[in-house]
Amino acid sequence: MEERYLTFALGKGRLANKTLELLEQIGITCEEMKDKSSRKLIFVNEELKLKFFLSKGPDVPTYVEYGAADIGVVGKDTIMEENRRVYEVLDLGFGKCRMCVCGPQSAKELLIHHERIRVATKYPLIARDYFYNKKHQTVDIIKLNGSVELGPIVGLSDVIVDIVETGSTLKENGLMVHEEICSLSARMIVNQVSMQMETDRIRSLILQLKELCGKGNEINAYR
Ligand code: PRP
């Protein structure tokens, strides 16, 4: 029987570039993907029977859940927010950052006293889960699509729930981290049916990447 293609969905941008570097180290290359001027959306490695496509990060878990991609690489933040039925199989160890509750100094008291505050975020599900289920604090969540730091600056919200990497965006805008929700990094996710049908190929890929990324990174989210 002819081998079927394994399809990868990669979140556009830094994560995709890092993933391609990693794959190259285990002998998986896709030359045509490196052409930055290309408007092509899907790339094929005929020899290895692999396909790759780039999509918006939040769409990666969707492609993987529906089986349009067998494998995806995306940030843990997106996996948590999208909450799709996929197996999270490997922490790739790059794209490390933290999901935090941030705001001006004055927000500290509001957080300590569990006041009913306004929270601006690109991640309403993560924010809701944190405040309602973990902190047991009733808050009003306001969904934004980017530059969330503006929230407290222009008086839209008291705090934000957002990704902090170097902390410089906060610093430059007079904001600080008040509470840490969780650590984040790039993860590999797999379609649940693909994991059963293509166990050998996918397991071998995971093992090779695991060797590269360091031990102990495999997440036992599947049997
Ligand atoms: C992310 C995040 C913060 C910033 C944190 O934004 O939302 O704004 O990076 O990085 P730092 O701690 O190193 O300053 P991104 O650049 O993804 O754009 P966005 O504002 O559109 O979400």
The reported pLDDT for the residue numbered 71 is 98
Lookup: tokens for 164: 């902090």
Rounded Cα distance between 172 and 139, Å, is: 26
**Ligand 1, atom 22, residue with closest C-alpha:** 146
The reported pLDDT for the residue numbered 170 is 98
CA distances from 156 to 97, 118, 122, 129, 165 (A): 25, 8, 14, 21, 23
Lookup: tokens for 29: 């290359």
Q: Going residue by residue through the chain (223 aa), what tens digit of pLDDT does each one get?
A: 568 999 999 998 888 889 999 999 999 987 777 777 888 889 999 999 999 999 999 999 999 999 999 999 999 999 999 999 999 999 999 999 999 999 999 999 999 999 999 999 999 999 999 999 999 999 999 999 999 999 999 999 999 999 999 999 999 999 999 999 999 999 999 999 999 999 999 999 999 999 888 755 556 544 3
The reported pLDDT for the residue numbered 49 is 93
Q: Which atom of ligand 1 is nearest to the CA of 167?
A: 12
Q: Which of 163, 181, 184 to mutate to test the pocket of ligand 1 (most atoms within 8 A of CB)?
A: 163
Q: Which atom of ligand 1 is nearest to the CA of 170?
A: 14
Q: How many CB atoms lie within 10 A of CB 168?
A: 9
The answer to whether 12 and 54 have CB atoms below 8 angstroms apart is yes
Rounded Cα distance between 182 and 107, Å, is: 20
CA distances from 160 to 56, 131, 152 (A): 22, 12, 7
Please tell me the pTM assigned to this model: 0.92
The answer to whether 94 and 183 have CB atoms below 8 angstroms apart is no
The reported pLDDT for the residue numbered 213 is 81
Residues with CB under 6 Å of ligand 1 are 122, 146-149, 162-169
Q: Which atom of ligand 1 is nearest to the CA of 147?
A: 20
CA distances from 109 to 101, 106, 181 (A): 13, 7, 18
Q: Tell me the residue length of the chain.
A: 223
Strand partners, 190: 71, 87
Closest by alpha carbon to 185, among 59, 87, 74?
Answer: 74
CA distances from 191 to 2, 100, 114 (A): 21, 29, 39
